Amino acid sequence: MRTHYCGQLRAEHVGETVTLCGWVDRRRDHGGVIFVDLRDRTGISQIVSDPEHTPTSYPAADDLRNEYVVRITGRVTQRPPASLNPKLATGEVEIYADQIELLNAVRKPLPFQVSTAETETVREDLRLKYRYLDLRRERMSRNLQLRHQVVKTLRRYLEDEHQFTEVETPILNRSTPEGARDYLVPSRVHPGDFFALPQSPQLFKQILMVAGVDRYYQIARCFRDEDLRADRQPEFTQLDM
């Protein structure tokens, strides 16, 4: 499908033919030369098309609009000194598009523009309603990557350095006498009976301790039917060990 991600291209790739996939972040027409910022979860690469150097791709580039999903094949070239972009990791290079394949077009007006959502105020309820657009934003993508890196670091450290064992404990359980209220899940098989979602894995942790499971940990989901706090939602994640 692709040879590289958009955020991976650097000066050492100059001269290579690459294939990228992503969303059109912005499209600019500079007097017949069309520039397209192509975005995926790793970053942005600048795509160039004009009638002289890339006549095959120019009609397709002229039709592109924001958030179109495309696949582009072209040659990586060095940007002229005047057009270097130090704000981008890929700011030293651009890709002259030999082929542009439209994978999916936007047929209706977007509720907000992903490319400008970082600088313009977008209502939270609108972002949550169209979460699939919201998660394309750079900030949200960074948040997901940061959480991934934190959890990966925890696992590597506990397992590789200190020989912890990850044990997954049940989600559906009976209610336990702790401080917060439980979320209840009705049972279809046993009418009138309910499961409780765990407030924390405390009971299971104690069972594992008595059973001699030395150095246990898990990245645990916890559920509490209580009022919001500054650092806690009804559903949250904790490192239990």
Written as tens digits, the pLDDT of the chain (241 aa) is: 999 999 999 999 999 999 999 999 999 998 889 999 999 999 999 999 999 999 999 999 999 999 999 999 999 999 999 999 999 999 999 999 999 999 999 999 999 999 988 888 899 999 999 999 999 999 999 999 999 999 999 999 999 999 999 999 999 998 887 778 899 999 999 999 999 999 999 899 999 999 999 999 999 999 999 888 877 789 999 999 9
Whole-prediction pTM: 0.82
d(CA 23, CA 67): 5
Strands 43-49 and 93-104: parallel
User: H or E segment at 132?
Assistant: helix 131-134
Strand partners, 194: 186
Q: What is the CATH number of domain 6-104?
A: 2.40.50.140
**Structure tokens belonging to residue 208:** 């594992």
Q: Which amino acid is at 223?
A: F
Q: Measured between alpha carbons, how far is residue 153 from residues 41, 106, 160, 232, 239 in Å?
A: 21, 38, 10, 23, 12
| Adjacent-strand bridge partners of 239 | 219
What type of residue sits at position 38? Answer: L
Angle in degrees, CA 7, 105, 22, rounded to 5: 10
Q: Residue ranges per domain, the chain? A: 6-104, 112-161, 164-241
